[in-house]
Copies of this chain bind each other. A is one copy, B any other.
């Protein structure tokens, strides 16, 4: 079972940033946008806690960096429906969450637990 959570300024600040952002944000992004001073480790732990608690989901870019975005409705703790895909723009570096989910037809016997789908290219705004 999960630990109890407390409300703190930092947590709410981070959540507010995530909620207000259309794109998924890296830890560094969050760090820069946060107006409350906070340690790297704190942000790291907070983001991970959000993922654990089903508040946000993590996307790993093709560069190996983690990005975070608030979950849209369907996510529950430990059971994410984040099979929607993401678009990472090489120009503006934004990691956008796309609405559509990918359709996967896994062979027999395979148990799917998570999906990490990142498309890379140039977004509409940058062309």
Contact = CB atoms under 8 A, between A and B. Distances in A.
Interface of A: 58, 60-66, 85, 87, 90, 98, 100, 102-125, 127
B104 A115 contact: no
A49 to B, nearest CB: 18
Contact of A117 (B64, B102, B127): B102
A124 B107 contact: yes
Nearest to A62: B116
A26 B117 CA distance: 19
Contacts of A98: 106-107
Contacts of A87: 106, 110
25 contacts: A60-B61, A60-B64, A62-B114, A62-B116, A64-B65, A64-B66, A87-B110, A98-B106, A98-B107, A100-B105, A102-B102, A102-B103, A102-B117, A110-B122, A110-B123, A111-B121, A112-B120, A113-B120, A115-B117, A115-B118, A115-B120, A116-B116, A116-B117, A116-B119, A117-B118
